[in-house]
């Protein structure tokens, strides 16, 4: 049925209208409902955006590596295991006189030696520390298990200076 025919015959009864016309009649009512929800959605999106921008300004960093902790079973690991938490801050200390590895980087938690950055992954970290670059570390994963290499993972991050000296 063409649009000229509908216009020429005048208004038709709702039950005789084609299916698409009766759906079109309901469209404005649904459209108004969606317009009412739009400000809430936009407002929530803006809050999320503002929150992520604020977090980005306060915690700028570059993750250099995520590694297993070497030597966990030989140091204070067993005694401090119950107190360790994901996110705990770790201290990295360069040990150039280490008899086993001249590029050794010790990993401490609250002043207790947990282990070392693995030998196969410590060259860049050692070089950065030797050049005076500040690095930060934190526990990224803790897992129960017999394999000491899978118990603790940690990430080493490079703090990024914010613009304007902030």
State pTM to two decimals. 0.61
Check whether residue 40 and residue 114 sit in a common domain: no
Kindly indicate the confidence band of residue 132, based on its pLDDT and cuts at 50, 70 and 90: very high
- Tokens encoding 138: 């934190």
∠ Cα 134 63 133 (to 5°) = 15
pLDDT of residue 164: 55
Domain that holds residue 40: 3-57
| Same domain, yes or no: 66 and 143 | yes
* 36/67 same-domain check: no
Q: Is it the case that residue 19 has pLDDT exceeding 70?
A: no
Is residue 22 within 8 Å of 11, Cβ to Cβ?
no
CB 40 within 8 A of CB 48: no
Confidence of residue 37 (pLDDT cuts 50, 70, 90): very low
Quote the CA–CA distance of 163 and 159 in Å, as a whole number.
Answer: 13
Of 57, 72, 101, the residue that ends a domain is 57
Question: The domain spanning residue 85 has which CATH number?
Answer: 3.30.70.2330
* Residue 151 belongs to some domain of the structure: yes
Residues 139, 71 within the same domain: yes
> Could you give the number of structural domains in the chain?
2
Asked whether residue 34 is assigned to any structural domain, the reply reads: yes
Q: What is the pLDDT of residues 47-97, one digit of tens each?
A: 555 555 445 454 578 899 999 999 988 988 889 999 999 999 999 999 999
Mean pLDDT is lowest, of 2-16, 26-40, 126-140, 147-161, for 26-40
| Residues 90, 155 share a domain | yes
């Amino acid at each position: 049925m063409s649009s000229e025919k509908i216009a020429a015959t005048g208004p038709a009864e709702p039950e005789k209208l084609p299916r698409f016309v009766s759906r079109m009649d309901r469209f404005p009512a649904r459209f108004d409902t969606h317009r009412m929800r739009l400000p809430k959605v936009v407002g929530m999106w803006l809050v999320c955006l503002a929150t992520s921008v604020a977090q980005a300004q306060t915690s700028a960093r570059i993750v250099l590596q995520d590694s297993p902790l070497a030597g966990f079973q030989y140091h204070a690991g067993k005694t401090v295991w119950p107190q360790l938490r994901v996110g705990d801050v770790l201290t990295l200390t360069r040990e150039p006189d280490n008899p086993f590895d001249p590029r050794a980087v010790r990993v401490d938690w609250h002043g207790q030696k947990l282990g070392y950055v693995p030998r196969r992954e410590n060259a860049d970290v050692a070089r950065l520390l030797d050049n005076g670059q500040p690095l930060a570390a934190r526990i990224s994963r803790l897992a129960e298990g017999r394999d000491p290499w899978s118990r603790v993972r940690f990430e080493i991050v490079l703090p990024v200076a914010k613009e304007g000296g902030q």
